[in-house]
């Protein structure tokens, strides 16, 4: 940590300045003029010095368990402010020494589930609840949301991110930012930019075309920043085209501030960047979590002239503008008692809308709550609320599926329940021994999947239906292993096979529930299931949410925010992503830091080629591989049916108003998602077959009820980045507007001449 000793030494060395101005909103430049060089450098270097990675979650000042702080300068009235993780809820320590109270935070659904709602109003409500906890626990800035693109399903942090599409990602992130910041606290959208891989994340170089950067990997951030004005942005660990993201002046200054008009502060990821002076010169204002060596390096670079005082003062000014907006500066006294019960209800509402019904043959679901069910799979009894690492939350509880089904009125098959009660107790003891000494960034050992053959056969006679839960949890610091995380294990496949065979022999239905943070292989086993429910990681209320969908109390309305391919090798980035690293030591993924500039020599580890360009996800499949899709981007089933009619595309100021009338033609109430894609001429620039340009979710429609969904498509959203002239260009010609249920749906079409 940058200790109080260092700060005291600086202050002691400048006693004549004790009568300096006290910081106000309107005297920031005056305060900067009164600051010593040492104070300026201290302000820009985080409060957790000398520990770097060990400082995560171990802040010794401010709020226990917070990720870090921005140092204060008491003599100038500059308070220390507190920064804390995370994307699915505030991450602080739930217990404090000498205090009998607990300080739990709501475990909200993961980001991928929130984007699956396609409901930005709902996401904003989640943000409002999350931001209230930030405020009431005394934190000033929460380090989220994450908005990186789902480039490849094996990325270890996809659960923290929203989508493969920059529009859906950007709009969802904007809603979250607006909700959180409505409480008068800040956000830090991350990880900026082109951060789509964890393996060698501190030194990997993403080799990306300018067009792909502008249209895919920067566009998501641009949308969120322009719409929601986050207080801060966090740069990523990786290099991009040979320049470290935290030291890239063209992006951090010319594009971010010059083109997009961002006025907030930029901070490094914890331990990110290599050169303190290079970071500040580029426009990365705060170096987190700080270290004495980085403080000294920053100081020396100003003294020797390699860093200008102008660049230093610009960063200091932006940090002070952040501080004067903070609750700490405003003198807010946190209650340390947010309404967790009310926030759990918000969590539940969001999770209910983000669950996706992928398959439902012969109306296998909903299954009445008066039925007896056989509940299989270790994850059913140890539900996964969220991912690991800095995206984790210390929640007050997690409702597993067994508890959720009981709350919904289901009876569990006694034989199956008794078997798992004994088995899970044994596995809990085994896992406890293994997990006892593991550091925070290692995946927790979980119960091994089991196939109780006799129990399965007996339950097929006694139960009315079977539910099987498949679970996956992972997180920061490593990517997923293709063989052991993406593919189902032999036991999982056998469990699905045996349960399906036994229950189908009795004319009974089998539902597979996917409690996962990222996609798994589905093609090999999906024919054995009558229904498949993708519930992601639904937060602390997960078991209740899934039970409400299974019973029909809630009609599923989630839609996929990414494409589910037939097989991994159909993924457009499959040839340029680390598929397996089991033969590498773990620290190859997490700690590979090299003095100076790393040597980018080993493909997919030292550097990663983004050869697919703009053809990420559905853009690739719709254009080049229509038959490679199991479930298309935007796909989702309902317990009711909808009829669309009357597509209109009308010119408006700055764009087009698109409207579609949606009618519920089924027997139960439900919500539908209207997605508007645009097919461009593509005469001078190659263009995907279609690209998402707008979307909207209807309110809950009763049977027979109609609603006209209106969606505005900005004119500039149709432009492509032409590398030949380094400009955004909208090609003249006929554009086809397509209102569709998913990226593969023919939909309703209307041509417009532009």
Cα 115 from Cα 170, distance rounded (Å)? 10
| DSSP one-letter code for 36 | -
Element at 345 (helix H, strand E): helix 340-354
Cβ atoms of 637 and 560 closer than 8 Å: no
Query: And the tokens for 448?
Result: 């091994």
Cβ atoms of 288 and 83 closer than 8 Å: yes
b/e map 82-95, b = 16+ CB within 10 Å: bbbbbbbbbbbbee
Extract the runs of DSSP E, i.e. beta strands, from 174-224: 186-192, 205-207
Task: Enumerate the active-site residues.
Answer: 269
Percent of residues in the chain assigned helix, strand, coil, to nearest 5: 35, 20, 45
Q: At what angle do helices 414-435 and 453-462 cross, to 10 degrees?
A: 140
Cα 417 from Cα 657, distance rounded (Å)? 54
Cα 245 from Cα 650, distance rounded (Å)? 41
User: Does residue 193 have a cis bond before it (omega within 30 degrees)?
Assistant: yes
Cα 373 from Cα 418, distance rounded (Å)? 13
Query: And the tokens for 43?
Result: 């302000």
Sheet holding 691-697, edge to edge: 691-697, 673-679, 734-740, 748-753
Cβ atoms of 126 and 162 closer than 8 Å: no
- Residue 706 CB burial class (10 angstroms; 0-12, 13-18, ≥19): middle
Residue 299's contacts (CB-CB under 8 Å, 6 or more residues apart) are 37, 38, 41
Cβ atoms of 205 and 242 closer than 8 Å: yes
| Backbone φ and ψ of 537, nearest 5° | -115, 105
Cα 280 from Cα 315, distance rounded (Å)? 7
User: Does residue 191 have a cis bond before it (omega within 30 degrees)?
Assistant: yes
Query: And the tokens for 747?
Result: 């939909």
Query: And the tokens for 395?
Result: 């929640």
CB atoms within 10 A of CB 596: 7
Closest to 64 measured CA to CA, from 78, 89, 82, 46: 82
Cβ atoms of 79 and 50 closer than 8 Å: no
Cβ atoms of 179 and 126 closer than 8 Å: yes
> How far is residue 262 from each of residues 92, 256, 341, measured CA to CA in Å?
29, 6, 36
CA atoms within 13 A on the CB side of 355: 31
| DSSP one-letter code for 410 | P
């Amino acid at each position: 940590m940058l200790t109080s000793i260092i700060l005291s030494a600086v202050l002691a060395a400048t006693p004549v300045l004790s009568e300096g101005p006290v910081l106000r909103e309107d005297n920031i430049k005056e305060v900067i003029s009164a600051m010593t060089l040492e104070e300026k450098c201290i302000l820009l270097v985080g409060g957790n010095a000398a520990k770097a990675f060990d400082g995560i979650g171990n802040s010794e000042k401010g709020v226990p368990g917070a990720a870090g702080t921005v140092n204060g300068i008491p003599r100038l009235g500059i308070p220390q402010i507190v920064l804390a993780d995370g994307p699915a809820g505030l991450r602080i320590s739930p217990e404090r020494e000498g205090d009998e109270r607990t300080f739990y935070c709501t475990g909200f659904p993961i980001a991928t589930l929130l984007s699956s709602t396609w409901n930005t109003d709902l996401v904003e409500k989640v943000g409002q609840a999350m931001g209230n906890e930030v405020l009431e626990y005394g934190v000033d800035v929460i380090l989220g949301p994450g908005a990186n693109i789902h480039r490849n399903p094996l990325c270890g942090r996809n659960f923290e991110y929203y989508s493969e599409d920059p529009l859906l990602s950007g709009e969802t992130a904007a809603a979250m930012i607006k909700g959180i910041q409505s409480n008068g606290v800040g956000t830090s959208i991350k990880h900026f930019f082109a951060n789509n891989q964890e393996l060698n994340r501190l030194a990997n170089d993403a080799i990306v075309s300018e067009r792909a950067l502008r249209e895919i990997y920067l566009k998501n951030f641009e949308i969120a920043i322009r719409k929601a004005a986050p207080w801060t942005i966090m740069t990523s660990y990786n290099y991009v085209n040979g320049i470290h993201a935290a030291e890239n002046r063209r992006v951090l200054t010319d594009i971010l501030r010059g083109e997009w008009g961002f006025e907030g502060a930029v901070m490094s990821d914890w331990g990110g960047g290599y050169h303190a002076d290079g970071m500040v010169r580029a426009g990365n204002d705060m170096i987190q979590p700080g270290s004495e060596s980085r403080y000294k390096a920053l100081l020396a670079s100003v003294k020797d002239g390699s860093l200008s005082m102008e660049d230093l003062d610009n960063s200091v000014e932006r940090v002070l503008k952040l501080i004067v907006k903070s609750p700490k500066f405003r003198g807010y006294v946190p209650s340390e008692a947010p309404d967790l019960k009310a926030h759990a209800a918000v969590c539940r509402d969001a999770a209910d809308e983000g669950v996706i019904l992928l398959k439902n043959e012969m109306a296998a679901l909903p299954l009445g709550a008066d039925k007896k069910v056989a509940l299989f799979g270790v994850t059913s009894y140890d539900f996964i609320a969220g991912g690991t690492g800095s995206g984790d939350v210390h929640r007050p509880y997690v409702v597993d599926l067994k508890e959720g089904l009981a709350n919904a009125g289901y009876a569990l098959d006694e034989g199956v329940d008794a078997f798992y009660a004994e088995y899970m107790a044994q596995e809990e003891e085994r896992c406890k021994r293994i997990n006892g000494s593991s550091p925070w960034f290692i995946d927790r050992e979980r119960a091994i999947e089991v196939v109780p053959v006799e129990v399965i056969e007996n339950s097929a006679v006694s139960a009315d239906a079977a539910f099987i839960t498949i679970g996956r949890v992972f997180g920061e610091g490593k990517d997923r292993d293709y063989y052991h995380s993406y593919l189902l294990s032999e036991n999982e496949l056998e469990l699905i096979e045996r349960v399906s065979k036994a229950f189908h022999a009795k004319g009974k239905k089998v539902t597979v529930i996917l409690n996962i943070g990222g996609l798994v292989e589905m093609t090999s086993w999906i024919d054995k299931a009558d229904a498949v429910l993708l519930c992601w990681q639904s937060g602390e209320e997960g078991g209740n949410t899934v039970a409400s969908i299974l019973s029909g109390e809630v009609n599923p309305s989630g839609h996929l925010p990414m494409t589910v391919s037939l097989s991994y090798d159909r993924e457009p980035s499959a040839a340029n992503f680390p598929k397996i690293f089991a033969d590498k030591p773990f620290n190859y993924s997490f700690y590979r830091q090299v003095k100076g500039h790393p040597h980018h020599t080993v493909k997919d580890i030292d550097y990663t080629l983004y050869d697919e360009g703009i053809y990420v996800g559905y853009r690739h499949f719709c254009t080049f591989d229509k038959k490679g899709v199991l479930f298309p981007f935007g796909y989702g089933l309902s317990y009711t049916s909808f009829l669309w009619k009357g597509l209109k595309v009308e010119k408006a100021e700055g764009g087009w108003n698109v409207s579609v009338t949606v009618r519920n033609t089924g027997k139960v109430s439900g919500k539908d998602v209207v997605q508007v894609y645009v097919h461009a001429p593509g005469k001078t620039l190659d263009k995907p077959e279609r690209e998402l340009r707008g979307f909207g979710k209807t309110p809950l429609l009763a049977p027979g009820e109609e609603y006209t969904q209106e969606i505005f498509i900005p004119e500039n959203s149709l432009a492509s980045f032409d590398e030949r002239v380094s400009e955004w260009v909208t090609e003249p010609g006929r554009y086809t507007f397509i209102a569709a249920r998913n990226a593969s749906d023919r939909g309703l079409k209307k041509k417009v001449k532009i």
